[in-house]
Structure 1
């Protein structure tokens, strides 16, 4: 037992008496259930109490003991930690604050630089448990002394962050961006019609390997399917063309033979020769090898043979006129596209009471020199409204008897053989009858 112990005991007893007096007076700023900053006769204390059925339970702590743990923090030779009241009046280290003339108010900021003899970085933090502040005073010289070290650390961290960023971008580019760009590029080429595009089977992530393999397999299947569909369409068109070639009107054939017989009876050998020659040329063209294209010259000759036969059958009832640019005669067009439309005019516009005229004109398109314009006009009554509507809306005109298959066949063959680049238009012109205009690439 020492004198120090005796002094501590006396202080505690004095503090006990002060606490009793304080609780009896119980001032308004003394809050129950919260740490209160209380100034005793010698020291400042933190007081906490609870009133349980008239019995006070609590504790008080000397504020000087609260500062002791901060001695182990390196604040520099002259730096230190201290406590202040809610009005930022120092509770500990008062003399030091006065000697250094340090302003603790900070003017609302959490930190500031203050002091006259030596500059200090003053930082404050309000306690969450009581109505007081904890402040730290760090000498400015201490901060500046360690600043180069901090700068080096900051530089190392910055360089490391930049290197990490470049490494991250490199990995992202190699693992994600490049495979995605390859897929996007392949899809663009596919949209442009390139069915040969394939994705390389690089050693990327398993997900991209599966995706690339699936993409390549899908393109191969689409290509095969497209080829099969196209071949099926060609076979169908070949069958329809063959059907059209074999679709010889028996009345036309028998009537032509009957006319030859009657002409032989009256011994009109010149007309017999002309009729026989036209029929021979007509059937030679109809029974020729099945080809997708013929020259414009051959198609026009075949059409003129057909019209000539009809003119010989019905003298002065049918007139025709064919005009074509010589430079286009060797150009290729699908067979029977002109003759079919001329035959349609004979079938539906011909009337024994009123002569009919058919005019065929072939020239370069005025709007686009890369196309030829084929125009067939007659002087009949024109297309019925329901037929025009069907042609404009791609509705098949073929009925159970197979009539009007010719116009539908022409339209379908142009669309298939030219892949949508050829166009055909049907209209009725006032006072001129039906008009069919085809726009075909040269």
Structure 2
């Protein structure tokens, strides 16, 4: 199933799985929301279109009735038609006939409004030689418009030059607009007006809610009139059935192109109103998403606590054991029996390994102690012989006072010399021992040997193996003084940059180490060769293993650099 060599951590795999499950859940939620919203919007759009279709029939029926009336009046020239009556009124010389024709025309004009409620007014203008005659009928709201039209149309307005049956003209009066249908019969003009209110009232029946905007626009998308104020809006017929942006809001545009007028009538429904209808559905889906999220999160916590954490804890314990910490154990807090059995078996196995390791360690420790004691026996007679030689020389000189001084120094020196070499000592004690040794050497060489120490106070209580400084100071006394009339030995101790190690340097002004020692050959020497050097190296190995380092080099004299782990007496952090 998986490629060979390809592995996954359980934690990463579980986290990825839960993340994928959650993302899939969210995607399903979003997809469902989009589908439902789209379906619901489509249904609303269909309902609005059905309502608009009903309004369309009402509007178009009214317009067709008007066109039919004009058509019959103009083309069907029967007695009693507008055309014939106008002709009689204009051309007949009989006053009675003319008056009867005018009365008949007045009745026709008055009767037009009874056909449909959508006609706001009906006017007939007969351009006779005596300033013309006006016949009119209309509601009270159109009175001002009719008076304005009388004044305007009497002056050969552009409205009177249009004899087309296919278009309606827009006439504006104050805050209201009217659609005018004008028909010319020789010297007679028939004018029928539809107010924007009558058109909007019909469209209002198709609204989805009370906040919908009913409108009419021309073929260029310029707004003619609307039920609510819309600034700088272009409402083009080609956007029918789509959402359009008007100002800061989005609206669903639904309408129809009027064949009679050429104008576009329709309704704008706010997107927020449509989506508001989905609030209940959205809340339901949101609740489902929240519950699903809680269940996923809870199951994730369960798996993390009772499966992932025990596995992670077990891996961490294994790493600690790998680093040598056999006190670690797997502490399982899970109700899963399989993990408990696995942890108990592992801990039992570690206990057995720890017991075997302790047994082996004690065996190795006994061997190390024996080796340390052997190394100590190798170095103590060497120092002791040097001391006796000094006393012998003073006795030959008869300097009994100096013998007393030397004897006191030798006593202090000997106490430290016979310290158990397997123990660690404070750096302070090593320096005190070094002072006693130098007292002896200064007496021996008549103060031609000088020792300088650079030891920070904070390191004075740190722990070191005994004799590691004294051995190299003695080596400097032995070899440097043989070539110099005055021997200067410098001892310096400092911490490494990471504060984990302590660096001890012993530097003299002699001829330096021989080339045979600079290549670390002493590491393979037998104990009889360079006893002190080999002794220190072996003891460092036993005590610190590979955590200590000993380097020999020459820098205007012999330079010894010893690096050991820093152990503060107060911390009790023994190796």
Q: Structure 1-normalised TM-score?
A: 0.49
Q: Which has the larger radius of gyration?
A: 2
